[in-house]
Chain A
C-alpha cells in the first residue's frame, strides 16, 4: 500500500494514470476511478462544506446518494455545480472545485455559523428578522441570499449537444447487480426485448465491490459472463451510465444516459447526455438498497462513511479510507467491511456493534458488542472515536452501518406509499401490480440467493422461473438502530442541510409533528440527495418524539427525479434558434429577394416591411402604403389558415359554424364570416368562398388557423356526425397573395389566361378558378383588407415565389411594390378593420360593430350564450376609432382612456387603445380603441393615459373607418 492506494486489487487500470486538479491542486488517479476514489486514494477526505454550518465534509457514500462530496466540475459553459464526486468518472485533465466555502475549503469563514448553532435551530428564521420591517429587504435578506446555494451556475451557454430518444421494450430492468443481471438474463433467454439500465459507469452493481461467489466463480467473474451473454443477444440493450429517474403513467420511464460525462468533451457527433423515454410492458426494479448512516456525534467528520461505501472504495477502487479504521455498526455489513479491509492489510481498530449478540462471524476482529460510539474526534479529519462509556479508540476513518433502505423511489412515483417491514427495519416497495415489480434488495431481500431467485422470477414472463446458480450467502442481519442517545457534539440526520438529531423533536414540540411538516420545518430530506440516506433515521427520531411507531409516521412523498437531471438533457435539441420550428411561407424566397425584414408571428416568419436603402420601418411601410393606394402592391398572405370544406352538407355545416349564413352564398362568391365560441364571444373571422355547390374554401386568421381546424373537427365529429361533410387544412398547399391598389386589375390582367378580368366577370366578392401564366391553376378572390380595389390570388404552394416574381414584372409599369404586415396593418387601421388587437377573446360581434351579422334564423355555435345580459350590456367596451386632437401627437397601443377631468383610476377607466398605426393617407397616428358604450360617444374628446411611458394627451373618439368611409376605392 502506497499512501491510501492499495497495492493490488480493484477494477482500476493501473496502466492508465490520469491527472486532475481539485481546487487547483494537481492529483493523479487511474482509469476506473471516480473523483472521490482518486481523492481518497490520495489521502484527501475533505471535499466539501455543508449548507448551513459550513462543516467540513467528505464522501459518505460511493454512489448516487452522496450528500457531501459535491463539487463544481469543468468550467465556462460546461461548468456543472453540485456534481457528485462519487459518481463522476475520472478523466484526464478533470478540473473540480469545492463549493460553498470562502476563502478556501480548509479555512472557511462561513464555519462561524456553527458557533451560533444554538440559535440556528430548525425554523429559527421564521421567528426573527421581522424588526425593524425595513431591515428585511435591505439587510437580512441580502445576507440570507448570499448564503444560499452550494455551487455556482455558469452564465454562459452550453457548447455541447443533448439528445432525446425513445425506447420500447418487453422488460426494462433497472439496476444491474445480481438481481438485475439475473432478471435480464432470464427475460432475454426467454426471447423478450430487454433494456438493462444502470446508473453506474459499469454494469454489475454490488458485484463490482462485494466479494461474492456465484456458480463456483467470483461474483465479478459471474457478472462478466452474464454481461457478455447479454451483449451478444440482439434482443438486449445494455445501458450503463443510465439513470432511470422517474416512473410515469402507463409504464413510461424517464432515463438519462450520461453519454459523455466521463470525458473532458464529447466525441464528435455524440451528445453530452441523452434523455430517454422508455416504454416498458414490464419493468423490474432491481436498484438495490442504500446503507443507512447512524446518527451520533461527529458522524459527518471527513473519513466517516457507510460501511458499504468503504468496501466499495477498497474493493473496487483499491482506495483505503484510512490506515486504521473503526467500524460502528448495528448490522452484519460492518463486519463484512472489517473483514475485507483486514484482508487488504488495513488495520481495523474496533468493530463497535450496538447489538449485544450477533450471529455474524467476528473472529480475528476486535469486536465490542453492545457498545455505541458517542462521537468522532477530530475536525477536518478523524483522529479517534469515543464510545458512550468514554473509551477512546484511535483511528483515521470510521465505517458505519445502521441498516439498509431498499431503493423504493421509482415504485412510489405514482402515489403508492412504501410499506414498513419490521424484519428488515426498512420500508419496502408497495405492490403496484404486475407491470412493475421489485426484486432482490430493492424489495428488502438481502441474501444473494434470494436476489438471484427473485431476479429470475421477475424476468420470467411466462411459465416457471428457471433454476438459478448456486452462491454463497453472506450474513445480512440487521438490528434497528437509529441514533445514539448519549451522543456528544453534533449528530447529523440530514448531512447537506445540517439537520441535527435535536431539530426533529423541536419541530414536533412546536406542532410540526407530521412527517411532511417536520420535513418542511427542519428541511430534512430536502437537500440534493432528497433524504436517501437520512430520511428513515429522521422518521424514527420523529416517531419517538411523538410517541408513534415508524409506520404510523410513514415517509414523505417520493417524487421524480430519483437523482437530479440536467435541464440540457430534458431540453434535448430544442435549444437556441431550434427552440421551436420555423415556418416559412411559399413566398419566403421571393420576399427575401425583395429585401424583406421578417417578423416572428407564431411559428411563422412573415415579411414585415421591404426597406430601401436608408429607410427605417416607418419610412418603408409608409412608402409601401402610398405606392399601393396610388398604384399597386403585392403582399404575402399565405399564413392565413385555409380550410377546404366539401360535401352535400357543407353549406349547412358552415351555417352552424358561422354566426352569419353561408348556405345561401352563390357559387363563385366570397363572404366575410364571423365565428363565435360557444360562450358567445367572437372566435375568429375570415372570408369563405363557395367554389361549387358542395365545395367551400374557408380562410381563418393566421393566429387561429390551427384552433379553427380543431374546432371544425370537433363540431362535426362530436356534435353533428350525421352531417355529410369533409374538410382538410390546405394552408400549406396554397400560396396566397394580395394584389391591392387601383392598378391591381391591370397588373393581374397581364398574367391571367384568356379573357381579361372585368367588373362583370369578376365583380367585388367574386371567387373563381382560372389559369394564369399559360395554364397554371389558380384561384382568384376579389376581396380587400386594405380597402383598395384588390384581389387575393392563390396558387399551388410550390409556384408561389415564381408567381410573385411574375406579378412584380407585370406590375412594374404601374409601380408595383411588395408590402409587408406593417403596411397591411396601417391600411387596415385606416379602414377600421378589426384584427388581433380587437379579436382578443373577450369581444362580442356587437363590440366589433358586427352585431348585425348574427343570424336569428338558425342555430349556430355561440348563439344562445351571446344573448346573456352581460354580453349585450350597452356599457360594454366596443370598437371605435381614435385620433389625437393634436395631429402631431403619437398614440400608443395599450394606453387607457379617461373622461376629461376624471382622475386616473380603475373605476374611471373607459377603455384602451387596441391598435395604433401611422396613417400615410391622413398624415397622423390613428388608432382603434375599445371604449365603453363607444358608438354612442363618437366625437367625445377623451384623456389618453399612458402612465407607463408618462404620456398624456387628448384624443377624439371617432368612427373606426378613418379613410374612404364610403368604400369607393373598392371599385376604382
Chain B
C-alpha cells in the first residue's frame, strides 16, 4: 500500500486496521542469488538497490538481531558531504544527492532535513584546513561557505563569544548538510526492498561461511544453511568476525562510540554544529532532543556502551561551546560499535575469496553514507566492477600505499 496523506486518511476511518506489514517476515529459502549479511542501513540499502536498480531478483538480507538494530539505529543522524580527498568527495556527494530524493524514491518519510552542518574553527591553521576542505568541495560543485566570527554569531548568538578558552574564529558551513530520522532510513529501505521481493530475515545469525573450491557457496546460520552465489558483508562493527569466517583478516578495529540525547526542548539549535576545539557535535531532533556525541572511548570494544570519562569529555566541550546548555539535562546515552579502519575511510571491494564482497570500515561516518554505500555495493555485487565514485575504496590500498586519510593519523584506528 502506497503511503500518502490519502492512504493515511482512508485508514483513519477504518481504525488503522487495514495497514499491511511494512515488510514480510519470511522463512529463509534454501538458496539465493545474493545474500547480504547485516540488516542495517547499508545492508538493506544494498538489497534495495540490487533489486530496484540492478535487477537482481533473488536476494536475502540476514540480520542477527532485529531489523536496524546496529549502527543505523544508534547514530547521531547527520548527513553531509564535506569531504576533502578525491577518493571520498564524489562518493559522499553521490550519497547526498541520493538522500535528496530518497523519500520519494522509497515512499517513506525519513525526514531528510537539510538545515546545515557548521564546523567551527578556532585557529588560523584550522581555518586554512577548512579552506582547503571547502575548496575541495566547491571545485567539484558541492556547496560550502567559509564563515567568519560575525557570520557564526548571527546564526548562533548564544555560543560562547565572551569568555571562551578557544575563541570561535569562524566555520565551514554546508547548507545542504543536515539530519535524517535514522530508524526511518532502515525502515524505508526495508519496506522498499521487501516490495521488490527481497527476503529480510531477522534473528538469523551467520555462524559460518561455506566455501567450495575457494568459492563461496552459502552461509551457515542459526536458521540453517542458506546457499548463495554471491555473499555481501555489511556487518559494520562485526565485520572482522564475519570476515574471519572466510579466513580473512581485515585492517579494522572495533571501537565503541557513545552518543547522547537530551530531554526535549523547544527549537533552540537549528542545524548541526561541531565544536573545533574539543570533541562535541550537536543537532536538535524534530522531537526536540539535543542529539550529540564526541569521540570514541579509545579502547577496542564490542560492548555497546562506554564509560564516564568520555561522557564528561564530550559534555565539557558542549558547555564550552554553548554555556547556556548548562541546565539542560542529558536524558540517555548509548554506544555503537564502529568498524574503525586503518585510514579512517571505508572499504567497498571484492575480496580474495571468490564470491565474497566486503562493505566495511565506515568508522563513525557510516550513516551519511548509507544510500551511496548501498548503491555502490549493489553495483559492485551486480557488475563485479566498482561504481565510479567508489573506485578508491579498495581493500588492497593499504598494501599498495594508497590510503585515504582525511585526518592524517595513519594506521592508528582510534585516532581517526
Contacts and interface: CB of A to CB of B under 8 A. Distances in A.
B265 A151 contact: yes
Q: From A127, A158, A907, name the one whose CB has the most chain B CB atoms within 10 angstroms.
A: A127
A837 B129 CA distance: 8
B140 interface: yes
Contacts, number: 374
Most buried by A among B130, B160, B326, B400: B326
A906 interface: yes
A774 interface: no
B308 A128 contact: no
Contacts of A77: 324, 326-327
Nearest to A512: B22
Interface string B1-43: 0011101110011011101111101000000000000000000
Nearest to B304: A415
- Interface range on chain A (Cβ under 8 Å from partner): 35 or more
A925 interface: no
A568 B315 CA distance: 8
Nearest to B402: A870
Nearest to A73: B327
A945 B140 CA distance: 11
Interface string B31-64: 0000000000000000000000000000000000
B316 A579 contact: yes
Interface string A857-892: 000000001001111110000000000000000001
A909 interface: yes
B308 A151 contact: no
Given A415-B303, A520-B183, A909-B136, A150 B265 contact: yes
Interface in B234-291: 262-268, 277-278, 284-289
A273 to B, nearest CB: 10
A947 B135 contact: yes
A249 interface: yes
A121 B8 CA distance: 9
Nearest to B314: A570
A252 to B, nearest CB: 7
A909 B266 contact: no
A561 to B, nearest CB: 6
A149 B265 contact: yes
Interface string B57-91: 00000000011110001000000000000100110
A568 B327 contact: yes
Nearest to B269: A153
B307 A141 contact: no
B140 A575 contact: no
Given A576-B163, A579-B316, A127 B3 contact: yes
Contacts of A580: 165-166, 277-278
Nearest to B130: A894
B317 interface: yes
A130 B68 contact: no
A841 B412 CA distance: 12
A870 B403 contact: yes
Interface in B106-123: 107-114, 122-123
Contact of B319 (A119, A502, A567, A599): A567
A754 B64 CA distance: 79
Given A150-B265, A576-B320, A906-B140, A571 B330 contact: no
A594 B328 CA distance: 44
B155 interface: no
Nearest 9 A-B pairs (CB), nearest first? A841-B408, A894-B131, A149-B288, A870-B401, A868-B401, A947-B138, A158-B326, A564-B329, A157-B323
Interface of B: 3-5, 7-9, 12-13, 15-17, 19-23, 25, 66-69, 73, 86, 89-90, 103-104, 107-114, 122-125, 127-136, 138-141, 144-146, 157-158, 160, 162-167, 181, 183-184, 187-188, 202, 262-268, 277-278, 284-289, 303-305, 307-308, 311-312, 315-320, 323-334, 397, 399-403, 405, 407-411
27 contacts: A80-B327, A81-B328, A82-B263, A125-B109, A126-B181, A128-B3, A131-B104, A148-B267, A149-B266, A152-B268, A158-B327, A248-B308, A506-B16, A511-B22, A516-B66, A520-B73, A521-B183, A568-B326, A577-B163, A681-B410, A841-B405, A871-B401, A893-B131, A894-B134, A895-B135, A945-B135, A948-B144
Given A130-B103, A893-B128, 7 more contacts: A82-B264, A514-B67, A565-B329, A576-B320, A577-B164, A870-B397, A905-B141
Interface of A: 51, 77-82, 118-119, 121, 124-131, 133, 136-137, 141, 144-146, 148-158, 162, 164, 246, 248-249, 252, 254, 275, 277, 413-415, 502, 506, 509-514, 516-517, 520-521, 523, 527-528, 530, 557, 559-561, 564-568, 570-572, 574-580, 582, 599-601, 677-681, 836-837, 840-842, 865, 868-873, 892-896, 898, 904-909, 912, 914-916, 945-949
